[in-house]
Amino acid sequence: MKKSHLFSLVFYYLLLVSVSSDVIHDSCDKAAKGDPNIKFDFCVSSFEGNPKAKTATGVADLVKVAIETAMANATSIGSIISKLLDNKTLDTYARHCLEDCSELYSGAGSSIQSGGKAFEGKDYGTANAEISSAMDAPDTCEEQFKEKKGYVSPLTKENNNFFQLLAIILSFMNLVPK
């Protein structure tokens, strides 16, 4: 391969990486400024390690990546809950809360999947409603542990991150040109 071709390929790759990095940073900056639930650093780190995000050319691409990430996250949290439920020393109240959380995250996964399909079909109203409904899972899961004195959710970090990821999706969907 000639040096000029190699140089062109390297230049194109660096340009593509630079453009996607700008899309991520610009989109996360707008999202964080527009929603107090979104932290800029969390937003950026949610995308920078994802190979699909590195090829994003616009915010719509990032919405798709975030939806995939949220689906995987819901599944992962479901696995964490299953492991917590394996603990035979859990009392009845904690077990009940975790079982509810499991159902909530299962439903959230379905809502995210429906929201993703609606977004792909440019049905932004339905996409927004489905993603918004998924936000009930981390909030309800977290709050039910607080209903009984002395209980602390073992899923606080996961609930907060999941909520923030869904907030990012909603914010990014609002940035997509209609």
CATH of the domain at 74: 1.20.140.40
* Domain coverage including residue 170: 1-175
pLDDT classification of 21: cutoffs 50, 70, 90: low
How many domains is the chain built from? 1
pLDDT reported for residue 19: 41
Determine the pLDDT at residue 13: 45
The pLDDT of residue 124 = 96
Query: Is the predicted pLDDT of residue 84 greater than 90, yes or no?
Result: yes
Q: How many CA atoms lie within 13 A of 28 on its CB side?
A: 20
Model pLDDT for residues 138-164, shown as the tens digit of each residue: 999 999 999 999 999 999 999 999 999
Q: What tokens does 141 get?
A: 């899961």
Backbone phi, then psi, for 132, in 5-degree steps?
Answer: -60, -40
pLDDT, mean of residues 85-101: 96
pTM: 0.86
